[in-house]
Chain A
């Protein structure tokens, strides 16, 4: 059993927005009470549709925003709602963004992009050492050292994503938060980047928090999965369990809605009615009840708790077990 690197306990994050010019302010529950554990060297995937809170979770864990309530423990240090995190602990988690065109400063050379994290966080390192480390990192992510003095616009999307990963790794973080790292890339490039991520995880013993909406990518990459809906975790468990024995109706619907690249496969698709409710006014009771084909009176009144059932947890009054 490996050690736990990240432990989140009841973190949430609400935003206050004003509706219209003179409207009342309303609360968006972007992320409601979420708890999970992540073992060192493993990959935890967070899946869900837009507005389910997965990007908010990424921002909280990578300490761009503090949690509204609750706390999480990263590598032995606890980060709470109102305490700004120390810079040492900040550098042990880094984020890779979805869009490799927006995440690299277009006015900086690759050398500056890679050396900047060291320059700020480790001022004791000499310029020559910085350069050496940056060049090593370039090779590690599969680029050549000749690329060192070029600008980002000279690179393709896949190469830029490699550079973004290299920058995130410069501070030798333990946890890498990957926010949809391949969804902006073409299929043939996507597999290159996924391979790179697998390799780096092996070599550097990295832990991944992998945010994605693409279930086939998640199935390939993840050890464990967190399924989210409207700011809540509805189901969590090992990848194997989630894919072979999904118990929450939403997870089942999500799995059946995902297109499979096999035209011979006959599918019995669960067609979900309606749209995602607005996070400004989530439905009472279980958030999924207006779209759920199994919803009963209890679902409209009581919000189900995330309960451990067997080896994986489900937040549903009537979980579907097979």
Chain B
């Protein structure tokens, strides 16, 4: 019988596994690791908001209106980051705000990813006029300034957090469609796809089991980056009064509520703004690292 390889064992033990290799590339990028750490703590804060926050985000302490953070004159360690105009604890509101932002990011990315990837797969596989129709429609959506489109949609559907998320998801979805279609077109002519056709795989099987897993790398990167876009857009809509409605402690809404105190109480505007900045920055840094690690075109051999 043909020769059985004696050396495969040795290769097995020493060649790093898939995850190990991914981590090697990812950890080469220090910014990405920092981003990952911040992002992970952001998730933990969102999950354990009830435990971490010293007060309820909606409890009003009328004796402590507009109290500054503790290190400033007039501040107390009772309210570490101060209170707002109706005496609610800023720290607790920010912690609970993380929960909203995380929730928004998750839902928006899930909706736009699922629909975008499915439409992209259809465009890539079916081709012909279906593909042309889909891609032109996506071009139309992309031609609108994204926030403006979301504004219009919220105006039609009515201002609420759910509608804002829906609007943002629709605005973000064309990127997934384009990305998926491009990846599918690159994978389709490969031999393993022909091989799957040879053994009689149906179109659905080809789409989701054969081809899709090989297109995931750029989609995952895009998902990470659009997570931050979603948070940013939701904050913007909240600021304009079209997203989450007060008294919900959403960061954008908090910013808009604090508009009139900009000059008197800096912490009311600065702290939610910083929270948004740090979260978005960490996710973008992490996304860059993900791209380095997952995109084989950039890999050094």
Tell me the A residues contacting B by CB distance below 8 Å: 62-64, 87, 90-91, 94-95, 97-99, 102-108, 116-117, 120-121, 139, 141-144, 147, 150-151, 154-155, 159, 162, 164, 167, 170-171, 192, 195-196, 199
Contact A171 B1 (CB under 8 A): no
- In the complex, what distance in Å separates the CA atom of A252 from the CA atom of B210? 45
- In the complex, what distance in Å separates the CA atom of A102 from the CA atom of B188? 11
Q: List 20 A-B contacts (CB under 8 A).
A: A63-B198, A64-B194, A90-B200, A91-B199, A95-B194, A95-B195, A99-B191, A103-B194, A104-B192, A105-B214, A120-B205, A121-B200, A142-B2, A142-B4, A143-B4, A147-B8, A167-B199, A196-B2, A199-B1, A199-B2
- Chain A residues with Cβ below 8 Å from B191 are 97-99, 102-103
- Chain B residues with Cβ below 8 Å from A62 are 198
Interface centre among B5, B191, B214 (most CB of A within 10 A): B191
Interface residue count on the B side (C-beta < 8 Å): 26
With A117-B199, A120-B199 already in contact, the answer to whether A102 and B190 are too (CB < 8 A) is yes
- In the complex, what distance in Å separates the CA atom of A199 from the CA atom of B1? 8
Partner of B4 from A91, A144, A150, A199 at Cβ < 8 Å: A144
* B171-196 CB contacts (< 8 Å) to partner A: 190-192, 194-196
- Chain B residues with Cβ below 8 Å from A143 are 4-5
Tell me the B residues contacting A by CB distance below 8 Å: 1-5, 8, 11-12, 15, 18, 190-192, 194-202, 205, 210, 213-214
Contact B200 A159 (CB under 8 A): no
With A62-B198, A154-B15 already in contact, the answer to whether A192 and B2 are too (CB < 8 A) is yes
- A154-B12, A164-B195, A167-B195 given; 4 more Cβ-contact pairs under 8 Å: A97-B194, A102-B192, A116-B201, A142-B3
- Chain B residues with Cβ below 8 Å from A116 are 196, 199, 201
- In the complex, what distance in Å separates the CA atom of A102 from the CA atom of B187? 10
Partner of A192 from B3, B11, B190, B196 at Cβ < 8 Å: B3
- Chain B residues with Cβ below 8 Å from A142 are 1-4
Contact B205 A159 (CB under 8 A): no
- Chain A residues with Cβ below 8 Å from B4 are 142-144
Would you give the shortest CB distance from A278 to chain B, in whole angstroms? Answer: 22
10 nearest A-B residue pairs (beta carbon): A142-B2, A107-B213, A103-B191, A117-B199, A102-B191, A97-B191, A105-B192, A196-B2, A120-B200, A102-B190
- In the complex, what distance in Å separates the CA atom of A159 from the CA atom of B8? 10
- Chain A residues with Cβ below 8 Å from B1 are 139, 142, 199
- Chain A residues with Cβ below 8 Å from B201 are 116, 120
- In the complex, what distance in Å separates the CA atom of A10 from the CA atom of B200? 26
With A147-B8, A154-B11, A154-B15 already in contact, the answer to whether A195 and B2 are too (CB < 8 A) is yes
Contact A94 B190 (CB under 8 A): no
Partner of A105 from B2, B11, B18, B196 at Cβ < 8 Å: B196
Partner of A91 from B5, B196, B197, B200 at Cβ < 8 Å: B200
Residue of A nearest to B12 (CB): A154
- Chain A residues with Cβ below 8 Å from B198 are 62-64, 90, 94-95
- Chain A residues with Cβ below 8 Å from B194 are 64, 95, 97, 103
- In the complex, what distance in Å separates the CA atom of A7 from the CA atom of B207? 34
Would you give the shortest CB distance from B247 to chain A, in whole angstroms? Answer: 47
Residue of B nearest to A195 (CB): B2
Interface centre among A94, A98, A99, A108 (most CB of B within 10 A): A108
- Chain A residues with Cβ below 8 Å from B213 are 105, 107-108
With A106-B214, A141-B2, A159-B8 already in contact, the answer to whether A171 and B192 are too (CB < 8 A) is no
- In the complex, what distance in Å separates the CA atom of A207 from the CA atom of B105? 57
- Chain B residues with Cβ below 8 Å from A98 are 191
Residue of A nearest to B212 (CB): A107
Residue of A nearest to B216 (CB): A107
- In the complex, what distance in Å separates the CA atom of A97 from the CA atom of B11? 25
Residue of A nearest to B190 (CB): A102
- In the complex, what distance in Å separates the CA atom of A290 from the CA atom of B199? 42
- In the complex, what distance in Å separates the CA atom of A76 from the CA atom of B213? 39
- In the complex, what distance in Å separates the CA atom of A192 from the CA atom of B1? 11
- In the complex, what distance in Å separates the CA atom of A107 from the CA atom of B187? 12
- In the complex, what distance in Å separates the CA atom of A139 from the CA atom of B18? 26
Interface centre among A87, A103, A196 (most CB of B within 10 A): A103
- Chain A residues with Cβ below 8 Å from B210 are 105
Residue of B nearest to A155 (CB): B8
Residue of B nearest to A64 (CB): B194
Residue of B nearest to A147 (CB): B8
Would you give the shortest CB distance from B186 to chain A, in whole angstroms? Answer: 12
- In the complex, what distance in Å separates the CA atom of A270 from the CA atom of B296? 45
- In the complex, what distance in Å separates the CA atom of A23 from the CA atom of B192? 33
Partner of A171 from B5, B18, B199 at Cβ < 8 Å: B199
- In the complex, what distance in Å separates the CA atom of A121 from the CA atom of B196? 12
Would you give the shortest CB distance from B297 to chain A, in whole angstroms? Answer: 15
Contact B199 A121 (CB under 8 A): yes
- Chain A residues with Cβ below 8 Å from B5 are 143-144, 159
- Chain A residues with Cβ below 8 Å from B18 are 151
- Chain B residues with Cβ below 8 Å from A106 are 192, 214
Would you give the shortest CB distance from B110 to chain A, in whole angstroms? Answer: 22
- Chain B residues with Cβ below 8 Å from A95 are 194-195, 198
Would you give the shortest CB distance from B112 to chain A, in whole angstroms? Answer: 23
- In the complex, what distance in Å separates the CA atom of A193 from the CA atom of B233? 58
- Chain B residues with Cβ below 8 Å from A90 are 198, 200
Interface centre among A63, A116, A142 (most CB of B within 10 A): A116
- Chain B residues with Cβ below 8 Å from A139 are 1
- In the complex, what distance in Å separates the CA atom of A103 from the CA atom of B196? 9
Would you give the shortest CB distance from A71 to chain B, in whole angstroms? Answer: 20
- In the complex, what distance in Å separates the CA atom of A196 from the CA atom of B1? 8
- In the complex, what distance in Å separates the CA atom of A147 from the CA atom of B194? 24
